[in-house]
Amino acid sequence: MKNELKFFRKADLILVLTLIIAFFALNKNIIDYGLPFFVQEDENAFLKGTLSYISFITSIKRELSDPYLGPLMNLFLTLKLLFINEIILNLTSISDLKLKVYNDPSILIIYGRYCSLIVTSFFLFILYLIFKKLKINFFIYSTLLFVFSSSLLLLDISIVNGKNSYYLLFFLI
């Protein structure tokens, strides 16, 4: 009986992780829609708020209406992804990276969209942990996770570089 229960717990986790990986992979394929010519206004405002944290480089001043914590987390995640992908994997120098971003600023929006997708995937995993803590039946929360991960609401939140994915995570936590 204990072995069956242990197997069921592992199968439960594997199913949820497979769902999250499938959510990430499916949304990753459509993440660069509209770029570099069409960008949402929310993405531009959020990018301005993100870049205002490094105003000593960008000289973009912060406004009182800008969100505080979402752009800061986005800055850390975006810089980490830029460092890993461009400098370590592609062996780009920092001066070449600055020139590349200057010539095509949509690169920052793409990396911001990846950050939103990562944060939304993390949100789904935390939602799973909350369901487990509340001891909700597996069939109920697996259905809820599947429906929520395939909804248009979460699709829009996860592939737009904006504050909504961070606020969704903060609200859940």
pTM above 0.75, yes or no: yes
Cβ atoms 129, 172 nearer than 8 A: no
- Poorest-pLDDT segment among 15-24, 100-109, 157-166: 100-109
Most confident of 4-13, 38-47, 113-122: 113-122
Q: What is the pLDDT of residue 173?
A: 86
Q: Token pair 């406004």 is at which residue?
A: 63
- Report the helix count and the strand count for the chain, using DSSP H and E: 9, 0
Vertex 53, ends 38 and 68: CA angle to 5°?
85
Task: Output the CA–CA distances (angstroms, integers) from residue 71 to 32, 33, 68, 101, 135, in the order listed.
Answer: 20, 22, 6, 18, 34
Q: Tokens at residue 70, please?
A: 């979402």
pLDDT band (50, 70, 90) for residue 16: very high
**Distance from C-alpha of 78 to C-alpha of 42, rounded to nearest angstrom:** 17
- In the chain, the amino acid numbered 155 is L
Q: What is the pLDDT of residue 133?
A: 92
For residues 7 and 46, the model is more confident at: 46
Q: What is the pLDDT of residue 146?
A: 93
Q: Token pair 């800055």 is at which residue?
A: 75
- Average pLDDT score, the chain: 84
Q: What is the pLDDT of residue 128?
A: 94
pLDDT tops 60 at residue 91: yes
pLDDT band (50, 70, 90) for residue 3: low
Q: What is the pLDDT of residue 1?
A: 56
Q: What is the pLDDT of residue 55?
A: 74
Give the three-state DSSP class for 128: helix
Q: What is the pLDDT of residue 117?
A: 93
Q: What is the pLDDT of residue 17?
A: 93
